[in-house]
Structure 1
Amino acid sequence: MTGIDLVVLDMAGTTVADDGLVERAFTSAIGSVGVRVEDERYQGMLDHVRATMGQSKITVFRTLLDGDENTAQRANSAFETAYAELVAQGHCAPIPGAEDAIRALRGAGVLVAFSTGFARPTQQAILTALGWRDLADLAITPAEAGRGRPYPDMVLAALLRLGLADVRRVAVAGDTPSDVLTGLRAGASVVAGVLTGAGDRVSLAEAGATHVLDSVRELPSVVLG
């Protein structure tokens, strides 16, 4: 053991395959508030979505829509609906080896928490579709923690809710620079970037990842030694 009591895992791109679902749901959502694909604003908005992968979706929509709270909330609701529909249609699959990695960690006595930039209903829809409702010890969202990535709130909230005391005994894993920054700001001693999602080796390393892994399936060897 390396002294890790808790592993906080991102979902889309880290433990759950994204396969473009976020971009498809975004296109539907932004269209619902009047920005179509042919609109000159669309490509810049899509670029921002790509650059902020992993962050709270409502925060992203607030930025894109110039702080118009009502419109941002409408877009966010449309995003969550569109993503949930894609999940219900079967467009949801685990990253190969993710479930085995989580079971290995928990089998060794390490607690595991899922974190996400999605709202609670979407997170639960994904976990239900994969049969993962009981796979981890906790599933947490930005709304429950206070703020989403790149703030440390979800990691710290998971630590508190699971009754742990030392942030140095936490590992965080995710596929974006925002995931890495979240882990560093929370004080985790292991902050792993994975290459199965939006981030690449350079961007994850430059963000400060302590480890850059091909997949979350490699995480138990880091955490358990």
Structure 2
Amino acid sequence: MKIEGIIFDWAGTTVDFGCMAPVRAFMDSFAANGVTVTEEETRKPMGMLKRDHIRTMLSMDRIGEAWKDANGSAWAEEDVEKVYSHFEPELLSTLANYSKVKPGVIETVAKLRAMGLAIGSTTGYTDVMMDIVVKAAADQGYEPDCWFSPDSTDGKGRPYPYMIFKNMMKLGLSDVRCVVKVGDTVSDIREGKAAGVWSVGIIDGSSVMGLNEDQFNALSEEEKTQKRQDVRAVFEGAGADYVIQNITELPAVVEAIQHR
């Protein structure tokens, strides 16, 4: 069976090395409501629809207790909107600064297209956020054939499979076994598994690693090796079919799948 299409995530996978844009916005939005959250806590739900991300963070035991202490009562659904009302404008104001295309993306996508593959994409961003990211990426030479946010699936983002199915319909992909989903978060892996497609985790520049490009390049080779091993374990634990160090390894994965 021949692979027909690749469906990429955006932040942390094809743009925004380290998936840095949402992290500070989430942390500042909780701080504005009297709750200090850590970067580790913030990154755990990464890749989800942003309201679902906030809801998941509020459901964490420590954050839930901190919210109660700061606000006088346990969090409720309206508090999700309260945090989001800070989050969205803050993210929109900085998003263009965090839309740099990651190393190797443009060359690898060209190689995949030369192999006859369609290029789709899914995201945890909303359409309004994506308008900024898509334009910035296109200006740098990266432009997938299509993209879908949770806005196109009635708010059912990752780990639901529906954005992948939207891509498959748009691109005319014939079978889930002919599709590869590539992402940098556990939510990405789960999205791919839920859809029944091949699910690939990408290590360098991922949200799971949580380092920007300068921080990553400052690591020693021994530190890089350890970080990569740690991220690989997370993706494999989530059920990834393949885990790659960076995007340039993806064409070889496609060939390996086709030889199975």
- Name which of 82, 85, 89 aligns with 2:93: 85
| Higher normalized helix content (fraction of residues) | 2
1:157 correspondence with 2:166: yes
Where 2:46 maps in the other structure, the secondary structure is coil
Partner of 2:45: 52
State the distance in 2 between where 1:120 and 1:77 align.
16
Where 2:103 maps in the other structure, the secondary structure is coil
User: Percent sequence identity over matched residues?
Assistant: 30
Q: CA RMSD in A?
A: 2.3
Shift of residue 110, structure 1, vs aligned partner: 0.9
Classify 1:217/1:80 alpha carbon distance in 2 versus 1 (closer, same or farther; 3 Å): farther
Q: Which moved more, 1:156-165 or 1:178-187?
A: 156-165
After TM superposition, list the pairs within 5 Å mapping 1:68-107 onto structure 2: 68-88=76-96, 90-107=97-114
> Normalising by the residue count of structure 2, what TM-score does the alignment of the two structures yield?
0.74
Unmatched tracts of structure 2, length 5 or more: 60-74, 209-230
Partner of 2:56: 63
Partner of 2:27: 27
Partner of 1:43: 37
1:183 correspondence with 2:192: yes
State the distance in 1 between where 2:239 and 2:43 align.
19
Partner of 2:233: 202
Letter in 2 for 1:43: V
Q: Deviations over 1:57-80 (max 9, x none)?
A: 111223345674443234334323
Q: Which moved more, 1:21-30 or 1:195-204?
A: 21-30
Shift of residue 14, structure 1, vs aligned partner: 0.8
Partner of 1:10: 9
Partner of 1:168: 177
| Higher normalized strand content (fraction of residues) | 1
Compare CA radii of gyration and give the structure with the larger one. 2
Shift of residue 51, structure 1, vs aligned partner: 1.0
Q: Which moved more, 1:47-56 or 1:114-123?
A: 47-56
Classify 1:156/1:91 alpha carbon distance in 2 versus 1 (closer, same or farther; 3 Å): closer
Q: Which moved more, 1:61-70 or 1:20-29?
A: 61-70
Classify 1:108/1:78 alpha carbon distance in 2 versus 1 (closer, same or farther; 3 Å): farther
Q: Which moved more, 1:171-180 or 1:76-85?
A: 76-85
Classify 1:134/1:213 alpha carbon distance in 2 versus 1 (closer, same or farther; 3 Å): closer
Letter in 1 for 2:243: V
2:46·2:53 contact (CA, 8 Å) conserved in 1? no
Partner of 1:129: 136
Letter in 1 for 2:253: V
Letter in 2 for 1:73: E
Unmatched tracts of structure 1, length 5 or more: none
Aligned length: 215
Q: Deviations over 1:145-194 (max 9, x none)?
A: 24111121111121122222311100011111221111111111x21111
State the distance in 1 between where 2:152 and 2:82 align.
20
Where 2:98 maps in the other structure, the secondary structure is coil
State the distance in 2 between where 1:110 and 1:145 align.
24
After TM superposition, list the pairs within 5 Å mapping 1:142-153 onto structure 2: 142-146=150-154, 147-153=156-162
> Normalising by the residue count of structure 1, what TM-score does the alignment of the two structures yield?
0.85
2:27·2:42 contact (CA, 8 Å) conserved in 1? no
